[in-house]
Structure 1
Amino acid sequence: MKICVFGAGAIGGLMAAKMAAAESAEVTIIARGPHLAAMQKNGLKLISEGQETIVYPRCVATAEEAGVQDAVIVTLKAHSLAGAAKQMQPLLGPETSIVSAVNGIPWWYFHKIGGQYEGRRVESVDAGGEVSALLAPERAIGCIVYPAADVPEPGVIEHTYGDRFTLGEPSGERTPRVEAVAKALVAAGFKAPVRPKIRDEIWVKLWGNLAFNPISALTVNTLDQLTGDPGQREVARNMMLEAQAIGEALGVRFAIDVDKRIAGAAEVGAHRTSMLQDLERGRPMEIEALLGVIVEFAELTGLPAPTCRTVLALVRARARAAGL
């Protein structure tokens, strides 16, 4: 199976390195800059559980060099997707699937959802249909990312924790294409369960991110500080309860309660959320895919979300003040 990892930063690099090491797929990495140069010269180094592994997957700068793939794993930030979609076109043949390992609500969310919202566009991540026009929702396979990894230097991936990538078709079907991707990931040493209700899992991860990420960017607190402070914890909890009501109105079922979800975040410890890391490194934050979309869905369902609206306004202002 030919699999291309598009945007091989920390998570994409982790997936590519382990699939290449296990030879579970014919892996191509599309990257750029010093990261690409280092991989082409020295291979891709993976540091995981105290062990170092160097692999030599095909590493290229453009989709034209990579050619048509069976599957493309996209590990970009949601706000980068519109620009990247144009660059991805040479990867896409008639049967190419796109595994969207992207945080937040994906552009394909209302594809095959059924009911009154079928086929709607998610403006927060697909403004004017720019993404879906180039990456047809019919190609999409959902993927929730649970591992944590970083790029300490070009060409090097440091895997911190986690080994699960949950997969699912928007329709809930168990298709040959999703099973093929799962097989490649499992053979590489990951857990890759295929779930019939992938949106439920998207929301459980988003549930924490929509609150903890923006609050951490506003307070510069790590997860243990945020969840340990009664005031911040209450704000996060209120945001999560507002979001839960919205998700349930869209047909989502939450398998755990809000306090258990918060407790799970607290157990992670002194973790700097991705939004806080982006702020500190001067990179655009994933505001719209994680929180802007909640306010969009509040308007869609006619439900109130006062705490989410307030925090959204504040974190947008924080991003503008930082020039991001």
Structure 2
Amino acid sequence: MKIAIAGSGALGCGFGYHLQKSGEDVTLLDNWEQHIEKISNDGLNITVNGVEDNLKMKMCRPNELNEEMDAIFVFTKSMGLKSMMESIDHIIGPDTKVICLLNGLGHLKTLENYVDKKNIIMGTTVWTAGIDAPGITHFNGQGPVELQNSDPNEKEGALLIVDMLHKSGLNGVYSDNVNYTTWRKACVNGTMNALCALLDSTIEEVFSTSTIDSMLSGIVTEFATVARLQDDIELDIEETITYLKNLAEKVGAHYPSMHQDLANNRPTEIDFLNGAVAEASKRFGIEAPYCQSVTDLIHAKEDIMGIHSAPTK
């Protein structure tokens, strides 16, 4: 299968690596020139769960790939989704499957502007990753990659992608309610990502603080309220908090992506996470003080660092 990875940062490289190792024809797409040059010349240097490897991979800018793909995995930052879809329009054919594994909320509406709904597959992953230098990444985890077709009549297409991921070692599973897992993943990023970024700490350090229970309860309650009102999704608050704590035990040494963004002077995805919950709460006539404060503090930190804030949806 011809596969493009649209947005080949840490997670994109990790997925591309696994798919190529299992025999798929993979092309990495990105706009970071140093990253492209390093991988094109020296291959991808990647450490997967502590094991180092180097793999020669094709990589170029999105506008330099000139053939239709069978499948495209989208791994941009939330605020970069629109521009990426515009730049890869020429490689999307009538049967090209587009698999979205982005953090954040509201991406299906954006994708529908560029792809027939029958070809959109939404999903979540709990694998973690990071970039150590151009062309050098690490990738960790063993959790599931949950996928579901957006069009109820297109389950067969989603199952093909699930099978491909499973065979590649990425633990693909089919979900009958990916909206639920998307909201639960948003809770992961709205707590771990945001708090680690604000406190300049690893997940383990944040989850060891004396205030973690209060912070988790406040943020998760606001996410759960909006999930119910906006998408009719029922998140069990206590179960979600338990899930977050169990996950933190497994990936505690990790600095999540929002922390990595600030460390590298890049804008964060906060407007598609806590910011999205705060804005939705206003529409419903309720307050979300935790999410609003977290969003304001992240943007304040971006301002102090001179980072151009990401546009809101």
TM bracket, shorter-chain basis: 0.7 to 0.9
Q: Is 2:184 aligned against 1:204?
A: yes
* 3-state SS of 1:230 partner: coil
Deviation string, structure 1 residues 12-40 (Cα, Å, up to 9, x no partner): 111111111110x2212213412211222
Shift in Å, 1:142: 0.8
What amino acid is aligned across from residue 229 of structure 1 in structure 2? T
Structure 2 partner of 1:253: 234
Which deviates more, 142-151 or 222-231?
Answer: 222-231
The 2-side partners of 1:244 and 1:291 are apart by 12
The 2-side partners of 1:235 and 1:69 are apart by 43
Structure 2 partner of 1:116: none
* 3-state SS of 1:134 partner: coil
Question: Is this contact kept in 2: 1:10–1:149, CA < 8 A?
Answer: yes
Structure 1 partner of 2:194: 214
Structure 2 counterpart of 1:176, from 156, 170, 173: 156
In structure 2, the CA distance between the partners of 1:96 and 1:300, relative to structure 1 (3 Å rule), is farther
The 1-side partners of 2:2 and 2:295 are apart by 40
What amino acid is aligned across from residue 4 of structure 2 in structure 1? C
The 1-side partners of 2:79 and 2:146 are apart by 22
In structure 2, the CA distance between the partners of 1:65 and 1:222, relative to structure 1 (3 Å rule), is closer
What amino acid is aligned across from residue 193 of structure 1 in structure 2? V
TM-score, with length taken from structure 1: 0.85
Q: Is 2:201 aligned against 1:224?
A: no
Q: Is 2:261 aligned against 1:278?
A: yes
Structure 1 partner of 2:172: 192
The 1-side partners of 2:7 and 2:16 are apart by 11
In structure 2, the CA distance between the partners of 1:218 and 1:45, relative to structure 1 (3 Å rule), is closer
Structure 2 partner of 1:161: 141
Deviation string, structure 1 residues 244-294 (Cα, Å, up to 9, x no partner): 122122211336624313422441323322212211211111111111111
Structure 2 partner of 1:68: 68
Question: Is this contact kept in 2: 1:172–1:195, CA < 8 A?
Answer: no
In structure 2, the CA distance between the partners of 1:106 and 1:139, relative to structure 1 (3 Å rule), is farther
What amino acid is aligned across from residue 245 of structure 2 in structure 1? A
What amino acid is aligned across from residue 292 of structure 1 in structure 2? G
Q: CA RMSD in A?
A: 2.3
Question: Is this contact kept in 1: 2:220–2:241, CA < 8 A?
Answer: no
Which deviates more, 199-208 or 25-34?
Answer: 25-34
1:116-135 residue pairs with structure 2 within 5 A?
132-135=112-115
The 2-side partners of 1:45 and 1:172 are apart by 39
Structure 2 counterpart of 1:263, from 235, 245, 252: 245
Unaligned runs of 5+ in 1: 109-120
In structure 2, the CA distance between the partners of 1:258 and 1:60, relative to structure 1 (3 Å rule), is closer
Structure 2 counterpart of 1:317, from 284, 300, 303: 300
The 2-side partners of 1:195 and 1:172 are apart by 12
Shift in Å, 1:76: 0.9
In structure 2, the CA distance between the partners of 1:4 and 1:266, relative to structure 1 (3 Å rule), is closer
Deviation string, structure 1 residues 139-158 (Cα, Å, up to 9, x no partner): 42112121112222332332
The 2-side partners of 1:169 and 1:306 are apart by 34
What amino acid is aligned across from residue 191 of structure 2 in structure 1? A
Which deviates more, 13-22 or 214-223?
Answer: 214-223
Shift in Å, 1:318: 1.9
Deviation string, structure 1 residues 88-113 (Cα, Å, up to 9, x no partner): 111111121211111011421xxxxx
In structure 2, the CA distance between the partners of 1:67 and 1:143, relative to structure 1 (3 Å rule), is same
* 3-state SS of 1:284 partner: coil
TM-score, with length taken from structure 2: 0.87
The 1-side partners of 2:12 and 2:198 are apart by 28
Structure 1 partner of 2:6: 6
Shift in Å, 1:136: 5.2
The 2-side partners of 1:28 and 1:278 are apart by 24
Shift in Å, 1:190: 1.6
Structure 2 partner of 1:26: 25
In structure 2, the CA distance between the partners of 1:51 and 1:318, relative to structure 1 (3 Å rule), is closer
What amino acid is aligned across from residue 28 of structure 2 in structure 1? I
Question: Is this contact kept in 2: 1:78–1:102, CA < 8 A?
Answer: yes
Question: Is this contact kept in 1: 2:164–2:172, CA < 8 A?
Answer: no
What amino acid is aligned across from residue 161 of structure 1 in structure 2? G
Question: Is this contact kept in 2: 1:45–1:52, CA < 8 A?
Answer: yes
Unaligned runs of 5+ in 2: 308-313
Deviation string, structure 1 residues 51-92 (Cα, Å, up to 9, x no partner): 333333332223442421111101111011122222111111
In structure 2, the CA distance between the partners of 1:30 and 1:262, relative to structure 1 (3 Å rule), is closer
Shift in Å, 1:193: 0.3
Question: Is this contact kept in 1: 2:121–2:147, CA < 8 A?
Answer: yes
Question: Is this contact kept in 1: 2:14–2:129, CA < 8 A?
Answer: yes
The 1-side partners of 2:39 and 2:143 are apart by 23
Structure 2 counterpart of 1:287, from 263, 270, 274: 270
